[in-house]
C-alpha cells in the first residue's frame, strides 16, 4: 500500500513537471564538421529540455562539445540534424537574419570578457540590444536600461564608463544588458572566469537572486563548484550527455547545502 502511494506521488510529481513551460528543447541534435577529409562529430545526438525558471549548468572539458552546444543554444549555429526549439520556435531551418532577430528578442548573453563598449557609459552599454528593436523608442530604451542597472545594484553607476569600473561592476553591467530585453533565457558563458574568488561569489549571488525571481538561466562552465549553485547539471563528454540530468541539491537557493552555506558566508563578507 505504501509503495503504491509512493508510486502515485512520483507520477503526480512527473505530471506536474510536464505542465511547466519548455523554454529550451533539443531533439537528437547532431553537429558535424568537415575537417579536411575527416568528419568530426562534435555533437552526437543531444536531447534535453530546460523549463521556465530553471538554473541549469552545462559542464564539460575541452573537446566535450560544450562550445558547439553553446553556439547551438545561442542561435549562432544550426544543427546538422535534429531540431532545436527556442521558446517553442524551431531554429534549424531559419535563415541567418531570422536567427539574429530571434537571438536579440529571446536570449540575454553574459560573456566571460564582459564585451562592453569602451569609453561608453553603463546605461549606453545596456541600451545596445534595444537599439536593434524598432518598436522601442529612445525614452523607453533609457528607462528600461536604468531599471535593469538598478536591478543589479548599479543605480549609482549609471554614467560611469567601462574604464571607471571594477571587473565585478562590468559584469553586472553585462548582466543588466542581458536582462533589458526581458529574454526567455539568460545564457552565461564562463561568466565568473575573469573574476577573483570574492567577486565571483558576488556575481553568483546575483544569479541566484535572478533565479529566485523566476528567470531561466543556462550557465556554461568548467568549474564544478559553480554547478553546486544550480538546480540541474548537464555534463558533456565526447559530444554526448555523460550522466543523467538531475537536481544538484537543495541549499535554500536550489543549490547544495554546502554551497548554500558558503553563499551565506560570502553574503555576510560582502555586508561587513
Mean pLDDT (the chain) is 86
Q: Give the global pTM.
A: 0.83
Cell of 113: 570578457
pLDDT higher than threshold 50 for residue 251: no
Which among 160, 161, 253 has a CA at the least distance from the CA of 206?
Answer: 253
pLDDT higher than threshold 50 for residue 225: yes
The set of residues, in sequence order, having a beta carbon less than 8 Å from that of 157 and lying 6+ positions away, is 122, 149, 165, 169, 173
Cell of 53: 525558471
pLDDT value, residue 248: 56
* Mean pLDDT of the region 88-104: 95
* Mean pLDDT of the region 111-136: 94
Under 8 Å between Cβ of 203 and 166: no
SS3 228: coil
pLDDT tens digits along 149-202: 999 999 999 999 999 999 999 999 999 999 999 999 999 999 998 999 999 999
- Cα separation, 166 vs 188, in Å, equals 19
- The residue with greater pLDDT, 47 or 263, is 47
Which among 167, 230, 160 has a CA at the least distance from the CA of 198?
Answer: 167
Cell of 35: 575537417
Under 8 Å between Cβ of 184 and 106: yes
Query: Residue 64: pLDDT band by 50, 70, 90 thresholds?
Result: very high
pLDDT higher than threshold 90 for residue 88: yes
The set of residues, in sequence order, having a beta carbon less than 8 Å from that of 35 and lying 6+ positions away, is none
pLDDT value, residue 226: 86
Cell of 217: 538561466
3-state SS record for 160-184: CEHHHCCHHHHHHHHHHHHHCCCCC
Q: Worst-scoring range by mean pLDDT, 32-46, 162-176, 255-269?
A: 255-269
Q: Rounded to the nearest 5 degrees, what angle is found at the Cα of 247, between the Cα atoms of 241 and 251?
A: 145
**If residue 269 lies in a helix (H) or strand (E), which one and from where to where?**
helix 257-271
Query: How many Cα neighbours within 13 Å face the side chain of 181?
Result: 26
Amino acid at each position: 500500500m505504501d509503495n503504491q502511494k509512493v508510486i502515485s506521488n512520483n507520477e503526480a510529481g512527473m505530471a506536474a513537471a510536464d505542465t511547466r513551460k519548455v523554454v529550451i528543447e533539443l531533439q537528437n541534435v547532431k553537429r558535424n564538421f568537415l575537417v579536411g577529409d575527416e568528419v568530426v562529430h562534435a555533437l552526437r545526438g543531444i536531447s534535453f529540455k530546460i523549463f521556465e525558471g530553471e538554473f541549469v549548468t552545462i559542464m564539460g572539458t575541452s573537446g566535450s562539445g560544450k562550445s558547439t552546444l553553446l553556439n547551438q543554444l545561442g542561435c549562432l549555429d544550426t544543427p546538422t540534424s535534429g531540431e532545436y526549439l527556442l521558446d517553442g520556435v524551431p531554429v534549424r531551418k531559419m535563415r541567418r537574419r531570422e536567427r539574429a532577430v530571434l537571438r536579440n528578442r529571446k536570449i540575454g548573453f553574459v560573456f566571460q570578457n564582459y564585451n562592453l563598449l569602451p569609453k561608453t557609459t553603463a546605461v549606453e552599454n545596456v541600451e545596445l540590444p534595444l537599439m536593434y528593436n524598432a518598436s522601442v523608442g529612445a525614452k523607453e530604451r533609457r528607462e528600461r536600461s536604468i531599471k535593469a542597472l538598478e536591478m543589479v545594484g548599479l543605480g549609482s553607476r549609471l554614467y560611469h564608463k567601462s574604464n571607471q569600473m571594477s571587473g565585478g561592476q562590468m559584469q553586472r553591467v553585462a548582466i543588466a544588458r542581458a536582462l533589458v530585453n526581458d529574454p526567455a533565457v539568460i545564457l552565461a558563458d564562463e561568466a565568473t572566469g575573469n573574476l577573483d574568488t570574492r567577486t565571483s561569489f558576488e556575481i553568483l549571488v546575483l544569479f541566484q537572486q535572478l533565479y529566485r525571481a523566476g528567470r531561466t538561466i543556462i550557465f556554461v562552465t568548467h568549474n564544478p563548484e559553480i554547478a553546486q549553485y544550480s538546480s540541474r547539471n548537464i555534463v558533456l563528454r565526447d559530444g554526448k550527455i555523460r550522466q543523467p540530468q538531475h537536481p544538484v541539491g537543495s541549499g535554500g537557493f536550489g543549490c547544495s547545502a554546502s554551497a548554500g552555506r558558503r553563499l551565506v558566508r560570502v553574503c555576510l563578507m560582502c555586508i561587513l
